[in-house]
Chains A and B, each alone.
Chain A
Amino acid sequence: MSDASSRIGTGRRLTRRAAIRGATAFGLAAAGAGALSAVPLPVRAADYRGGKLTACMFLEPNSLDPAAATYIPGIVVLKNVIEALIELDTQGRAHPRLATNWQVSKDGREWTFKLRTGIAFHDGTPFDAEAVKFSFDRILDPATKSQTGLSEIGTYQSSQVLDSRTIKMTFKEPYAPFFNNLHDVVLGVVSPTAVKKYGADFGSNPVGTGPYRLQEWVRGDHVTLVRNDKYVNTSDLVSHKTPPYLDTLTFRIIMEDATRLNALRSGEADFIYRVPGINVDSVQSDPRFQVYKNMYAGEPVMFLINRSKFPTDDVAVARAMQFAVNKEVVTRIATGGISPVAYGPLKPVVWGYNAEVEKMYRYDPPKARQVLEEAGWKAGAGGVRAKNGQACKMVCAVKSDPVTVSMLTAIQGMLQAVGIDLEIQTMALPASEELARQGKSNMTFMEWRGIDPDILTVQFHSKNIGGWNMGHFRNAAVDRMLDDGRALVDPKQRLPLYQKVQMTIMDQAATLPLYNLIAVDGAKASLTGVRYDVYHYYPEWYDVRFKS
């Protein structure tokens, strides 16, 4: 794969998908400085070996236990340490990884996997069917505190080890997204010996079969991985089969946008995640750097609207908010205008996206006032509307990150213009999430990655209230459609359900979608071999090296 093409983020689809969203619309961006040097060379791994890479992340992992990690940076790190059973290419086609082949029973309740042999975990424990069973069973164990894993494993019930290299997994009900989810490191295979040895500390000492192993995690500063020289390559998607080129991968944690950018500029970092939108132009035009722009798959940046808390429990208020907010302004403030405006709970690059949502609400303040007026919200003291003597005052607990606060301040002004009072309470991210879980926030910042529309279950199914359904959204029809959607295996049957679900969620105004985030990463021009994963979210480091 040439350098140039590897940098182009494309809209993605799954193999069995009918709906193909054009890649070009989102992938135009890839022009970086190194594009001219894209002559494929015969790769002699030994020539390229060596080098230490420093990549700067924007958030600290909350855990390095794949089953318990919920923040993206943990996944980014673990992708190199832990391996999954399968792998998806950028087109969404499945490739073998730790499993060589697989079979599903007719009723969709039993999956049988043949596993690779001759592979060992970093601690020397051999990889076998017992390890796979152990890794999957522990996700169900409440002590593991799995959230993402639990949602991705769906209706998984148990595993049966048929022999050391064959495993059969049983599901309570068919669960359509399972196979695609299997590529995610969240469902990766971990060393049972290490889990038993470290117990609750496994999250600080992950042990897998991956190309890199953990050297150290200094909280608040960095995570360093070193090459696993005994690594046996299991991936079809890499361009060379010997162990990876880079000696070490260091993930530094720099939450401050400007500081992270300066780390790239000063040469301290070779790669940074999330170049701030406002600075993309200047990095792009600098010949020392290249940028990668990807609209990764998942949900847009949005604020979940709490439909169980006054005053957003009134659908009229939630709908008026949709009309009152000028999303063009919001995306300009938050991303420098790079990311397009969002209208629904899914990004257009996710299979099953329903473009009909785009027709539902457009920026129209008079319409917002009319909706409120008709629902009985009359102009009151200080320009704040009131109904039955109660003022239309809402609160949003939010992480004290300046970009998020900025866009929320703009939203605050826009809501004020139609008579809604929004109080912004800034705090640390975990604190804001805790308040949201308890239902104490009217609006909750959210973005989610995922390639299957089943991710809507995480934010909009009532069973996840108290978890990631931070809008406390409860709608029987939505619950039913989401349940049915994950139980059906035939995409033709699934599609109309997800199309309908998106319309219902927006009709109930359970979320305020803002923009389809295009993540911009930046790197030194000398870095080559970067390939993005199936989500178009993070680079795979296996083929990455420095041009000499």
Chain B
Amino acid sequence: MSTDVTASGIPTASRPARAPAGRLSMFVRRLRRNRAGLAGGIIVLAVFLSAICAPVVSPYAPNGLDFAAYLTPPGVAHLFGTDEQGRDVLSRVIYGGRISLRIGFIAVSIAMASGVALGLIAGYYEGWTGTFIMRWMDVMLAFPSILLALAIVSVLGSGITPLMVAVGIASIPQFTRVAQASVLSTKELDYVQAARVVGCSPAQILVRHILPNIFAPIMVLATTGVAAAIITGAALSFLGLGAQPPTPEWGSMLSNGRVYMEKAPWMMVFPGLAIMATVMSINLFGDGLRDALDPRLK
């Protein structure tokens, strides 16, 4: 793979059609030029790795109660201090990353899978099918996604799985909109018309010809969607509707810490920083991705 990239990555002034490998190399180069995007990517990667390797890198068990270590300030033994149960905040922040990232990715996968499918159909069949789907999406878009997620959680009950489903459902309309708009602009292009003339079925056209060509904007949306889903998930957990104790989750750690805000600010500061750093770097990375994928920004 990498040899392909270097082999065909010679800058040859704007030629409309390029081999896939050439496009990839161009993308990588553009992304590398965007320092903020790159930094974001690196931080995201670091959070990812620490979440995956949590059992190895975290100094303590995330739920190990040690009542003697009640509200210990940050120090050598506990870099981020301890909470009211004497649990190590650093270990909980690291483990919390697992939950938050999982919420972000699974919720977005749910949203992307259903949203894009609906968008493809709505875009391709412009008649009443499309209108019906899009008006439904308008109804969903009329509610702030956190409100929509709250309503769904209240039906499904609290817990991480319902929370992921709720956040996922709440983010469907964005994906549908983007996919539908992209299909509308793509489907009149010659190669799609050609495919139709050749006798391809609508499913084939949608999946083989249209989908790959509308992939870029959807990837960008998915990246920023992960950040938004992490925030919504943390907000719901903060309200007690997501992760249940003793699960370490950044939002519920924040919620727990607010009682001790004065005496033990570290209980809020570190999970708060973790949310901020993760969400910000995902967004930076998403911006970098958009710039790199946008054909107008050559």
Chain B 15-51 against A: per-residue CB contact (8 Å), 1 yes, 0 no?
0000000000000000000000000000000000000
Asked whether, in the complex, the Cβ of B259 is within 8 Å of the Cβ of A278, the reply is yes
Closest-by-CB residue of B relative to A326 is B67
Closest Cβ–Cβ distance, residue A20 to chain B (whole Å): 36
Q: Does A408 contact B (CB under 8 A)?
A: yes
Closest-by-CB residue of A relative to B70 is A332
B: contact size bracket: 20 to 34
Closest Cβ–Cβ distance, residue B195 to chain A (whole Å): 52
Residue numbers in B under 8 Å from A257 (CB-CB): 259
Closest-by-CB residue of A relative to B244 is A424
Residue numbers in A under 8 Å from B258 (CB-CB): 256, 258, 402
The CA-CA distance from A256 to B259 in the complex, in Å, is 9
Asked whether, in the complex, the Cβ of B261 is within 8 Å of the Cβ of A426, the reply is no
Closest Cβ–Cβ distance, residue B125 to chain A (whole Å): 42
Asked whether, in the complex, the Cβ of B259 is within 8 Å of the Cβ of A425, the reply is no
Q: Does A405 contact B (CB under 8 A)?
A: yes
The CA-CA distance from A509 to B259 in the complex, in Å, is 31
Option from A256, A279, A282, A333 in Cβ contact (under 8 Å) with B84: A333
Option from A329, A402, A409 in Cβ contact (under 8 Å) with B246: A409
Asked whether, in the complex, the Cβ of B240 is within 8 Å of the Cβ of A427, the reply is yes
Asked whether, in the complex, the Cβ of A279 is within 8 Å of the Cβ of B158, the reply is no
Asked whether, in the complex, the Cβ of A426 is within 8 Å of the Cβ of B158, the reply is yes
Option from A258, A402, A424, A425 in Cβ contact (under 8 Å) with B256: A402
Q: Does B8 contact A (CB under 8 A)?
A: no
- The secondary-structure label for the interface of chain A is helix
Closest Cβ–Cβ distance, residue B168 to chain A (whole Å): 21
Asked whether, in the complex, the Cβ of B85 is within 8 Å of the Cβ of A406, the reply is yes
Chain B 55-75 against A: per-residue CB contact (8 Å), 1 yes, 0 no?
000000001010100100000
The CA-CA distance from A412 to B63 in the complex, in Å, is 11
Residue numbers in B under 8 Å from A329 (CB-CB): 67
Residue numbers in B under 8 Å from A424 (CB-CB): 244-246
19 contacts between A and B (CB under 8 A): A276-B259, A326-B67, A329-B67, A402-B256, A405-B240, A406-B85, A406-B259, A409-B85, A409-B245, A410-B65, A412-B246, A413-B85, A424-B245, A425-B158, A425-B244, A426-B241, A426-B244, A427-B158, A427-B240
Chain A residues with CB under 8 Å of chain B are 256-258, 276, 278-279, 282, 326, 329, 332-333, 400, 402-403, 405-406, 408-410, 412-414, 423-427
With A282-B262, A405-B245, A427-B158 already in contact, 17 other A-B pairs whose C-beta atoms are closer than 8 Å: A256-B258, A278-B263, A279-B262, A326-B67, A333-B84, A400-B240, A405-B240, A406-B259, A409-B246, A410-B65, A412-B246, A413-B65, A413-B85, A414-B65, A425-B158, A426-B240, A426-B241
